[in-house]
Amino acid sequence: MSELRSNHLSFLETLTQSVASLSPTFTPAIAVAVVGGMAGTAAWFVYVVATVMLIIVGLNIAKLAKRIPAAGSFFLYVSRTLGPSYGLTTAWAMLLGYLMTVVALVVATAMFFQDFLAGIGISLAIPNVVLYFVVSVLVWIFAYRDIKFSLQMALVLESISMALILIVCFIIWGEHGFALDPKQVHLEGATFSGAAPAIVFAIFSYVGFESAATLGKETRNPTVIIPRAVVASVVIAGTFFTITTFITVMGFGDDAEKLGMSAKPLSDISSGISATVATLVYVGAIISCFSCALGQLNGFGRTLFSLGRYQFVHTSMGLVHTEHRTPHLALTVGSVIAFIIMAAVSKQAETDLIGYFGTIATFGFLFCYLLCSVCAPIMLKRLNAMTAMDLVIGAAGAVAMVLAFVGSVYPVPDYPYNYFPYGFVVYMIIGVLWFLVLRNRMPQVLLGIEHDLESTTMTTGKNPREVTA
């Protein structure tokens, strides 16, 4: 049986998986409006705080990735530490996170493409469902191919996208005389009540940074490269978010209310400068959203692949393409499900869909981040390698994610966001019920997982054990 191609990816390619999966350009293009509307002049500082929080979580994930290099990543991290039942629950949550992000970013790609056409004077009444289909097929084609090709393309696209947005920000800054905004520097008018919930929402901008861990089977020296890639992606994204947010708030004249009402803040500022600058924003957003959808589909496919190898889902999901050496059937299933969802809601406004599916996806990621923060110190303790700092970092990461969960239900958000947390709980209950059915009907599956987990030792990070899932 064909396997994923091992020792295949460099540090830069592995880093690209994480950076592309969190789509840095998406934040200044859309998400900063929410953070800026809440936090006002403290918006840039909110991203500094969020970056620190996610670096802490990233350090916990890095400790696990250093010792368990595998395509199943979080499924195996949690299974090896807390048991297969928790691991399967984590994988179930991650599948939702990756898939809903694919949906949100395909919709965003189509939306910005339409804006781009309008910006250059082309008026085409293309039905949303047609655009969603075309973008979905393109994402699937690149994911289906060799992962190295997929990531090299994503690296080029994301580099171009971030460069375009930085050029636009430089132009906007130039319009203000290249001076620092004193109101933002001194956090003038900022309040804790506004900044605190904004931090929770800002965390949403980082989801996907962990996806480099799903390449544990395909990366060269994964116990070194993957931990570095996970943490580095947060640092890169956090720096980018802080700079672009500072410039965006400045561009709106520090008017938080006006910024909060904007559906596409960076585009709105750019339009006031010139049509060319606005076009650069649309091009950058299209590229970034597409590469992010690609990265998220790669993460979904490799998570489902691992579950297929362990027979938690149909074993065909664990098959690998003989030529491209990718989990082609798992990727195809993800693409089809994502398109069916998009087709069902294609009449809804794109900005609403992006918010809906992006929020739903975040719950899956937060659940995973929470369990990884819990597992890291436990694993290190079992290896007699835990220090007091490891315990502090693990606890800090867990607390940060719990606060993010709490922030999603209180204060009670507007409809329909107030129902999403409970919908996520129902989804997780379905996963638990499926696990119970599987345990009763196919007990050998669970026993096989437990035997595999117990019969092998975790790596020290120097001589990684070869794993198939």
Q: Is residue 267 domain-resident? A: yes
Better-predicted residue by pLDDT, 277 or 369:
369
Residue 9 β-bridge partners: 219
Q: What is the mean pLDDT of residues 359-366?
A: 90
- C-alpha distance across the termini of the chain, in Å: 13
Q: What is the mean pLDDT of residues 322-343?
A: 94
Encoding tokens for residue 389?
Answer: 């700092």
Residue 69 has pLDDT above 80, yes or no: no
Cα–Cα–Cα angle for 106, 201, 162, rounded to 5 degrees = 50
Distance CA 289, CA 201 (A): 19
* CA dihedral angle for residue 351, residue 353, residue 354, residue 355, rounded to 10 degrees: 90
Distance CA 214, CA 17 (A): 9
* pLDDT given for residue 468 in this prediction: 45
Q: Is residue 285 domain-resident? A: yes
Residue 336: its H or E element: helix 328-344
Are the C-beta atoms of residues 136 and 338 closer than 8 Å to each other? yes
- Cis status, amide bond into 377, omega within 30 of 0: no
440 — pLDDT class (breaks 50, 70, 90) = confident
79 — pLDDT class (breaks 50, 70, 90) = confident
* pLDDT given for residue 266 in this prediction: 87
Instruction: List the CATH number of the domain containing 69.
Output: 1.20.1740.10
pLDDT digits (tens, 9 = 90+) for 233-242: 999 999 999 9
Q: Is residue 2 domain-resident? A: no
Residue 283 has pLDDT above 50, yes or no: yes
* pLDDT given for residue 6 in this prediction: 75
Distance CA 298, CA 139 (A): 10
* pLDDT given for residue 345 in this prediction: 96
* pLDDT given for residue 442 in this prediction: 75
Which phi and psi angles does 219 have, rounded to 5°? -95, 145
Q: Is residue 399 domain-resident? A: yes
* pLDDT given for residue 405 in this prediction: 84
Residue 420 has pLDDT above 70, yes or no: yes
* pLDDT given for residue 169 in this prediction: 92
* pLDDT given for residue 1 in this prediction: 56
SS3 311: coil
Distance CA 368, CA 301 (A): 17
453 — pLDDT class (breaks 50, 70, 90) = low
SS3 314: coil
Q: Which domain holds residue 436?
A: 11-454
Residue 355 has pLDDT above 90, yes or no: no
Residue 184 has pLDDT above 70, yes or no: yes
Q: Is residue 464 domain-resident? A: no
Q: Please state the pTM of the whole predicted model.
A: 0.86
B/e letters for 209-230, b = 16+ CB within 10 Å, e = fewer, are bbbbbbbbbbbeebbbbbbbbb
123 — pLDDT class (breaks 50, 70, 90) = confident
pLDDT digits (tens, 9 = 90+) for 27-43: 888 888 888 988 999 99
Specify which of 102-116, 250-264, 406-420 reaches the highest per-range mean pLDDT.
Answer: 102-116
* pLDDT given for residue 456 in this prediction: 47
Domain count, the chain: 1
Specify which of 12-21, 54-63, 115-124, 147-156 reaches the highest per-range mean pLDDT.
Answer: 54-63
- Percent of the chain residues past pLDDT 90, beyond the cut: 46
Q: What is the mean pLDDT of residues 79-95?
A: 89
Other beta carbons within 10 angstroms of residue 52's beta carbon come to 13
11 — pLDDT class (breaks 50, 70, 90) = very high
* pLDDT given for residue 340 in this prediction: 98
pLDDT digits (tens, 9 = 90+) for 230-264: 999 999 999 999 999 999 999 999 888 888 888 88
Q: Is residue 420 domain-resident? A: yes
Average pLDDT taken over every residue of the chain: 87
* pLDDT given for residue 466 in this prediction: 39
59 — pLDDT class (breaks 50, 70, 90) = very high
Q: What is the mean pLDDT of residues 355-369?
A: 90
List the single range of 204-213, 271-280, 354-363 with lowest mean pLDDT: 271-280
SS3 188: coil
Q: What is the mean pLDDT of residues 433-442?
A: 83
Encoding tokens for residue 348?
Answer: 């809804």
Are the C-beta atoms of residues 212 and 18 closer than 8 Å to each other? yes
Cα–Cα–Cα angle for 166, 19, 281, rounded to 5 degrees = 30
85 — pLDDT class (breaks 50, 70, 90) = confident
77 — pLDDT class (breaks 50, 70, 90) = confident
Q: Is residue 445 domain-resident? A: yes
If you write DSSP's letter for every residue of 87-133 in order, what string do you get? HHHHHHHHHHHHHHHHHHHHHHHHHHHHHHHHHTT------HHHHHH
Q: Is residue 173 domain-resident? A: yes
